[in-house]
Amino acid sequence: MKTLKLKLIGINSKIIPNILIDGKMVKCKKNEFGSYETTVETEKDVVEFAITRDLELKSKLWWLYAFLSFIVSVFGIFEPFYDRKCITIDCLFKLKLNELNEVNVKFHPFANEGKAVELETPNEYEEIKNGYLLDKTAKKRWIALLIIKIIVWIGLGILAGFLISKLI
């Protein structure tokens, strides 16, 4: 049985990356220093290590969730903001394992292009994909959602002005 110890360093608080090892989601726990750690055991000599980021606006029912959260949050007053940059992480590595393996994953700052992470490990690995990508579908949906919210707020302002004028 081979043990893989992962440590994620420098994660931006706005992103929540998904860590997949051989296609299976791995849960990470936050340590006292703000990094995330996990330990995985496997029988394989080579594992596929992937880091991705799912955006809410990319899901199938994004419009339903956006509508419900807009109404429940008192027309968007208490609603958390969506990431306006709509940047996703797309990383895939093939990692050769020994008996005990330590891998430190350092995250780089957001950028439309360039490397997303850097692996620090004594093991051999092959970098297949490593970068930040702009999700154009999520960006278009974010713009549409912003326009709809502005129109609703203008409509509410006109309605409030009309009601106030009727009361006076």
Helix (H, G, I), strand (E, B), or coil: what is residue 82?
A: coil
- pTM for the whole thing? 0.77
Q: The tokens 């208490």 sit on which residue?
A: 78
Per residue in 5-51, pLDDT (tens digit) is 889 888 876 677 888 998 889 888 888 887 888 888 888 889 998 99
Q: Distance between CA atoms of 75 and 84, rounded to whole angstroms? A: 19
Q: What is the mean pLDDT of the chain?
A: 86
Total domains in the fold of the chain: 1
Per residue in 90-133, pLDDT (tens digit) is 899 999 988 888 889 998 887 666 788 888 888 888 999 988 88
**Domain range enclosing 122:** 2-167
Q: What is the structure's pLDDT at 93?
A: 92
In this predicted structure, the answer to whether residue 81 has a pLDDT above a threshold of 80 is no
H or E element: which one contains 159? Answer: helix 136-167
